[in-house]
Amino acid sequence: MTYEFLTADTIADYISANPRLAEQVDVGAITEVKEVGDGNLNLVFIVHDAHGGGVVLKQALPYVRLVGPDWPMTPDRARHEAEALQFHGRLAPALVPEVYLFDAERYILGMEDLSDHRVWRGALNDGLRHEGVAALMGEYVAAVAFGTSIFSVDPEEQKMIAARSANPELCTITEDLVFTEPYFENGRNSVLAANVKDANELAADDVMVRAMGNAKWSFMTHGEALIHADLHTGSVMVRAASGDEGPVDSAKAFDSEFAFYGPVAFDLGALWANYTIAAARATALGEDDRADWCMNLCAETWTAFEATFRASWPERRDARVFTDGFGDDLVARWHDETWVFAAAKMARRIVGLAKTKDIESLPEELREGAARGVLDVARAAVRERESGPASENYIAMASQILRATTTR
């Protein structure tokens, strides 16, 4: 597959040739072209002009950037991202970046410049508290759950959209890296020597492996909604209303190239997992108060998700068998699945490929306990959800484990 890759030198010409982009940036007054792709897959450029204009250009490479050309990967993922952002943007315009252009020949997405925002994971790692983001992400997941599913879309049309949204290669990454490889080594796992025993115990945990079988089955077969499918804290941009932290006036989910029709709780579990990982970092650093704040994000996301979904429920297209009782069952099922998807997402970020800066940037002596804590929370989550699935139970359980395993 050959197509021309963007470079800092060719960006101005590319913008000039695309009127929708040229509306955002004055090409005659460009002051800065920065390559900022710190994800695992793509090239990302931010372009600024002297008048305060800006645009982001993201180009999918035909391989996984993290690994290189030895791992080929369809650049059609850029179309999935564009189409998901556009659909989600119609449902929750404030909660995703605006898309200006999708170039199907060069797999380039032109979108809103969010330079006045920052990536939430980075802010969390700097010890900052952005208030309200977790609730906004709960609202986003609920808007997607309701608005892209058969509760809002004509069922025949929904099937056509789901077919177009099938994203097999990206789903394979998740099926392998999230659900399988932490338990069946494929040459991509790694941990500190001090955590080898923890990783071996995880892989030998029959209860965990069985839970991962159930979760993977759900991921591979439950086409409930056009989910984001990679909704970690590195896929969220945040902007404080004033200063560096505090209440936010904007939060946006981006990087939705993994989007496909999948289980709603997968996105909720991804958020919970990454809140827990942020809490593990705070605990390791001796910041117990901030760890509690991070863990409480789980409740904020869930509460907002449930309230938003329930508020939409009376508007569903067909209430005949999708009764209020069914709606209650669905919400309860999603809460239960959130625990298990969170467990899957935590374990993979400790043991498998594509780890998190939250844990990896800790000094080794602290990283040992934080990694162990996250793995122990994952193994406890798949067991303890059966004893009472309230978010508060998860928070209490995880906080206690993270404190008990710290090596500070």
The alpha carbons of the chain give a radius of gyration, in whole angstroms, of: 21
Count of residues of this chain found to bind Mg ion when the rule CB under 5 A is applied: 2
354 binds, among ligand SR1, Mg ion, none (CB under 5 to 8 A by kind): ligand SR1
- Say if CB 237 and CB 114 are below 8 A apart: yes
Rounded to a whole number of angstroms, the minimum distance from the CB of residue 362 to ligand SR1 is 20
Query: By C-beta, is 8 or 66 nearer to ligand SR1?
Result: 66
What is the DSSP code (8-state) at residue 178?
A: I
d(CA 387, CA 405): 22
Query: By C-beta, is 144 or 395 nearer to Mg ion?
Result: 144
Rounded to a whole number of angstroms, the minimum distance from the CB of residue 356 to ligand SR1 is 10
Q: Which position among 83, 113, 224, 255 is part of the footprint of Mg ion (CB under 5 A)?
A: 255
Rounded to a whole number of angstroms, the minimum distance from the CB of residue 174 to ligand SR1 is 6
| Residue where the block lists tokens 């086409």 | 223
d(CA 380, CA 360): 22
| Cβ contacts of 2 within 8 Å, gap of 6 or more | none
Query: By C-beta, is 255 or 358 nearer to Mg ion?
Result: 255
Q: Exposed e or buried b for every residue in 30-52, given b needs 16+ CB within 10 A?
A: beebeeeeebebbbbbbbbbeee
Query: By C-beta, is 39 or 182 nearer to Mg ion?
Result: 39
Q: Is residue 81 part of the contact set for Mg ion (CB under 5 A)?
A: no
Query: By C-beta, is 39 or 223 nearer to Mg ion?
Result: 39
Residue nearest to Mg ion (CB): 255
Helices assigned H by DSSP within 111-167:
120-125, 133-147, 155-164
Query: By C-beta, is 273 or 298 nearer to ligand SR1?
Result: 273
Q: Is residue 39 part of the contact set for Mg ion (CB under 5 A)?
A: yes
- For residues 123 to 152, the per-residue mask of contacts with Mg ion, x marking binding by CB under 5 A and - elsewhere, is ------------------------------
**Checking DSSP bridges between strand 130-131 and strand 246-253, what pairing results, if any?**
parallel
Rounded to a whole number of angstroms, the minimum distance from the CB of residue 39 to Mg ion is 4
- Say if CB 385 and CB 339 are below 8 A apart: yes
Binding footprint of Mg ion on the chain (CB under 5 A): 39, 255
